[in-house]
Amino acid sequence: GPVSKLSFDRSIEFRHVGFTYACSSRPALQDVSLIINKGEEIAIVGPSGAGKSTLVNLLLRLHDPAPGTIYMDGIDLRQLQQREYRQLFGVVPQEALLLHSSIRDNIRHGRDELTDDAVERAARRANAHHFISRLPLGYDTLIGDRGVRLSGGERQRVAIARAIANDPAVLILDEATSALDSESERSVQEAVQQFTKHGTAVVIAHRLATVLHADWIAVVAEGRIVDVGPHQELLERCVLYSRLCELQFGDPNEPALAKTMG
Ligand code: ATP
């Protein structure tokens, strides 16, 4: 029967992983090999359609790879009890679906076992407590159509609080592509860094600050991993990476930019 796994202890390994969607003739991923060690922050970058979301979806076991295998702590994901495995992850989607409800309900997200204290702790770790405290009714403030409108950065921090509220071992974050003001960007970045002090994070990166802080970056193109390394090394040796950086972040070697991000 399925193996029970309640903790993530060492590493996740993709070994020669491929995947083709049911109605597609072209593989979305091909021969992807990759090791994510516990405690690391990994960024994934690549052009649109490269396979970044597919890679993350396989990690979450929304699909199984074919060919190839993904292991957690040496165990094939296919052997694991699915629901328990999913509990190890907190996911922040690019456009988090916030409910027309209170901030508290939005962070709790149906998990009645989360106490008010746990909700506030998550909000603090997500750098959201400060702005929430300044709202008219604090955590009871309604958001959405009939309530307070949150900025993009505030929405993302509520989504991060929601994702980390049950202390997942691994945080998966699909960064917003729309621009955040620089304070929000710094705040979201700090929340992720605070999480990675203890936890593991896999971020589909659309921001320079994220790739600069990542332990390493996987560059994906046409379903393959083109290169893996830290930002500066990739800038020097990976043409696709430096081109992506230019497109997404402006000139990454420009000293003024490097200074503000560093
Ligand atoms: P983006 O940055 O635009 O989100 P991505 O790098 O995340 O792109 P994926 O969404 O993983 O790329 O898509 C990889 C390839 O698989 C693309 O060619 C895409 O068209 C295809 N694809 C994605 N989802 C499906 C699906 N449900 N059915 C069929 N093909 C899909």
For ligand 1, what atom is nearest to the CA of residue 54? 11
Whole-angstrom distance, CA of residue 33 vs CA of residue 222: 15
- DSSP secondary structure code for residue 198 in this structure: T
Binding site membership of 32 for ligand 1 (Cβ less than 6 Å) = no
Condensed to tens digits (0 to 9), the pLDDT of residues 176-224 reads 877 777 788 888 888 888 888 889 999 999 888 889 999 999 999 999 9
Answer whether 250 contacts ligand 1 (Cβ < 6 A): no
65-87: pLDDT as tens digits: 999 999 999 999 999 999 999 99
Task: HSE, CB side, 13 Å, CA atoms: give it for residue 209.
Answer: 18
Q: Is 46 in the pocket of ligand 1 (CB under 6 A)?
A: yes
Ligand 1 pocket test: pick from 19, 44, 53 the residue with the most ligand atoms within 8 Å of its Cβ.
53
Q: Is the C-beta atom of 25 inside 6 A of ligand 1?
A: no
CB burial string 53-70: b at 16+ within 10 A, e below: bbbbbbbbbeeebeebeb
Integer angstrom CA distances of residue 155 from 74, 101, 190, 198: 36, 13, 15, 24
pLDDT above 90: residue 259: no
Residue nearest to atom 31 of ligand 1 (CA): 21
Atom of ligand 1 nearest to the CA of 223: 14
Considering only 40-54, 60-74, 115-129, 242-256, which range has the smallest mean pLDDT?
Answer: 242-256
CA nearest ligand 1 atom 2, residue: 48
Structure pTM?
0.92
| Model confidence pLDDT, tens digit, residues 2-42 | 899 999 999 999 999 999 999 999 999 999 999 999 999 99
Residue 232 has pLDDT above 80, yes or no: yes
d(CA 169, CA 95): 22
Please say if the pLDDT value at position 54 is more than 50.
yes
- For residue 51 and ligand 1, the question of a CB distance below 6 A is answered with yes
Taking CA atoms only, the protein residue closest to ligand 1 atom 8 is 49
